[in-house]
Amino acid sequence: MKPEEMEAAMIRNLPGKTGKSLEEWCVVLKESGLTEKREMKKHLKEDHGVGHFQTQTIVKHYLKD
């Protein structure tokens, strides 16, 4: 599987794995008021229990928008 296919699959599976879609996680980050990439990742991992690779993908897409 190509990296972009793996990422697409991870995004598709976010609701089942984390309880929220990519868009919902982006709202969580926006509402957090955090601006530093490291703090965003820490917030998702420690406060929401999101896994490492899911966190990387969420933050990447959030910052891209």
State which residues of the chain have pLDDT below 50.
Answer: none
Tens-place pLDDT, residues 52-65: 999 999 999 999 97
Q: For residues 57 and 21, give the distance between their C-alpha atoms in angstroms, rounded to a whole number.
A: 12
Q: What is the pTM of this model?
A: 0.93
Q: Are 54 and 14 in contact (CB under 8 A)?
A: yes
**Residue range of the domain that includes 59:** 3-64
Q: For residues 1 and 39, give the distance between their C-alpha atoms in angstroms, rounded to a whole number.
A: 30
Long-range contacts of 9-15 (CB under 8 A, 24+ apart): 10/53, 10/54, 10/57, 11/57, 11/61, 14/54, 14/58
Quote the number of domains for the chain. 1
Q: For residues 6 and 48, give the distance between their C-alpha atoms in angstroms, rounded to a whole number.
A: 22
Output the average pLDDT for the chain. Answer: 96
